[in-house]
Amino acid sequence: MEETTYRVKINGEEKQYRKGTLYREIAEEYQPQFQDDIVLVLFNNRLRELGRKLKKDGELSFVTTREKAGRKAYRRSVTLLMQKAVHNLAWEDKKQVAVRVEHSISQGYYCELTGETPDETYLMRLKEEMMHLAERKIPIRKESISTDEAVALFRELGMHDKERLFSYRRSSKVNIYSIDHYMDYFYGYMVPDTGYLKYFELKQYEDGFVLLFPDKDTRAAAEFAPSHKLFHVLKESAEWSAKMDISTVGALNDAVAQGRIRDVILVAEALMERKIGTLAEQIAAQPDKKFVMIAGPSSSGKTTFSHRLSIQMMAQGLKPHPIALDDYYVNRVDTPKDENGNYNFECLEALDIELFNHDMSALLNGERIELPTYNFRTGEREYKGIFKQLGKNDILVLEGIHGLNGKLSYSLPESSKLKIYISALTQLNIDEHNNLPTADGRMIRRMVRDARTRNISAKQTIAMWDSVRRGEEQYIFPFQDEADIMFNSALIYELAVLKQYAEPLLFEIDKGCPEYMEAKRLLKFLDYFIPVPSEDIGKNSILREFIGGSCFNV
């Protein structure tokens, strides 16, 4: 009987492989051609784990740890390895110790143990156990079980956050991963065995530790460079979520199902208003502050935040004047270009720094000046008779991506500036071992707003997102610790509301598009949430900047 073979196109070359060939075998054949480890394949534009078998003709490419999907698979797999090692040490020590993955920090995940605080000795033992498991090249097995079975399994294992999560799952199947009988659920793909997991580090930090992953060098753990200010904002948000008993998606779904979501919305909005009010009080108590400089990554809600802060400052007797740094763009023909020859509107040099400093210094000295307006249609600066002069209680609220960069406002005294970093730092986790990436929440916010206000499709938003992220990493994140204050604009309920706006946009993306993989991942992610209507959300909410209905001109 003739053996069945399939034709597979790789790098433009057609090859033949027998039926049942593992993708891993093909990857091992091509690995010498790559500097980074192959951890997944893309077959007919669909991600596949290396442990799966070839079942038909098609086109295949390789996904390494340098690419986003591969990097996530590697991090996911190392996290499971760490959990298994914690489990083994607990068994050895005869203690009830488990690990909770809290949030991203530096190039890793901040984790805490239930039952004890890890010291250096424990972390040394934990790393040794992880390395031992990696050296054994234990298969990471995947089993698809029914949702009902998953609920029962996690109830039996005492993983009640996962039991809650899958009680609301519409999908009939759940993928369970295991290392040597240690089982857990993970949101996304894994590597085939622990032998792939060679590069990681553990660092003691605060009340827990950080599990560090590779960054640009994919074959070495990144250096630990935490933002302490950012960490404490995240910790404060997590503590508030815990007090509300809404630390995970399953807990949020409980609140929806039990009819408590209106109270959750009201409390979340009240907490944010209180924080903005407290910030306005701090500004009013420092009369030398004349420039409130607000910066943050895309879709952080900077515009609504600026308006709400201005209102609270007015309640303190101040007279705030909003100024968009975008109005200080140089004329388009003078804009610097990137390596591809395209205008780089995100670099600092795209702004007329000298004019900005001249105008702000003049205002600080009590002079009356005419402010520019940038015409985005013509790409030129215009003057439309907008004059400003600062009195005793006047204060400028400056919003733009370079607000924290000292080079922007080099001529202004530091004592005259208050710098605020704002970002949507999601405080929810999917469950105790699957954190919810902050960037995903911001991308969904932007997708919904782009479709509503700019006629930009979800496909286009996804296509440009990596470029947006590169700009943030170059021009915003390096300056976040320059901020005097960090503000978290995420709302604990928001993804349940954004779901109903985002899903139809994502379903429009054709399966043949390069953006389809990301759309599919986001749809699976949104499937965890019970949808929440927007009727109870106030018109001044930051979320209104994205879904519409804001009382501000956003």
pLDDT band at 2 (very low <50, low <70, confident <90, very high): low
- On whether the CB atoms of residues 41 and 183 are closer than 8 A, the answer is no
CA gap 548, 274 in Å, rounded: 23
Rounded average pLDDT over 143-147: 94
Q: Say whether 88 sits in a helix, a strand or coil.
A: helix
Integer Cα distance of 293 and 400 in angstroms: 8
**Whole-angstrom distance, CA of residue 296 vs CA of residue 233:** 14
Q: Which residues contact 295 (CB under 8 A, 6 or more apart)?
A: 302, 399, 400, 401, 402, 403, 404, 405, 419, 420, 421, 422, 476, 479, 483
pLDDT at position 451: 96
| Kind plus residue range of the DSSP H or E element containing 274 | helix 261-284
Specify the 3-state DSSP secondary structure of 139: strand
Tokens of 123: 């972390």
Give which of 319, 322, 500, 488 is closest to 393, Cα–Cα: 319
461-494: pLDDT as tens digits: 999 999 889 889 999 999 999 999 999 999 999 9
CB atoms within 10 A of CB 470: 12
pLDDT of residue 382: 96
* Confidence band of 171 (pLDDT split at 50, 70, 90): confident
Q: Summarize pLDDT for 214-262 with one digit per residue, the tens.
A: 999 999 999 999 889 999 999 998 888 888 889 999 999 999 999 999 9
**Angle, helix 249-257 to helix 494-507, in steps of 10 degrees:** 100
Name the pLDDT band for 169 (thresholds 50, 70, 90).
Answer: confident
C-alpha to C-alpha distance for 120 and 129, rounded to whole angstroms: 14
Rounded to the nearest integer, the mean pLDDT of the chain is 94
What's the pLDDT at 247? 92
- Element (H or E) spanning 140, and its range? strand 140-146
Rounded CA separation 76/191 (Å): 9
The tens digit of pLDDT for each residue in 75-88 reads 999 999 999 999 99
**pTM reported for the whole predicted model:** 0.92
Bridge partners (DSSP) listed for residue 486: 421
Alpha-carbon gap, residue 401 to 408, rounded angstroms:
10
Q: How far apart are CA 481 and CA 500, in angstroms?
A: 35
Q: In sequence order, what are the beta bridge partners of 64?
A: 38
pLDDT at position 1, please? 46
Would you tell me the crossing angle of helices 160-167 and 147-157 to the nearest 10 degrees?
Answer: 160
Answer positive or negative: Cα dihedral of 544, 545, 547, 552: positive
Q: Place 286 in a pLDDT band, splitting at 50, 70 and 90.
A: very high
3-state secondary structure of 429: strand
Mean pLDDT computed over 520-536: 94
Tell which residue, 74, 78, 89, has the closest CA to residue 123.
89
pLDDT for 243 equals 85
Kindly tell me if the per-residue pLDDT of 19 is higher than 80. yes
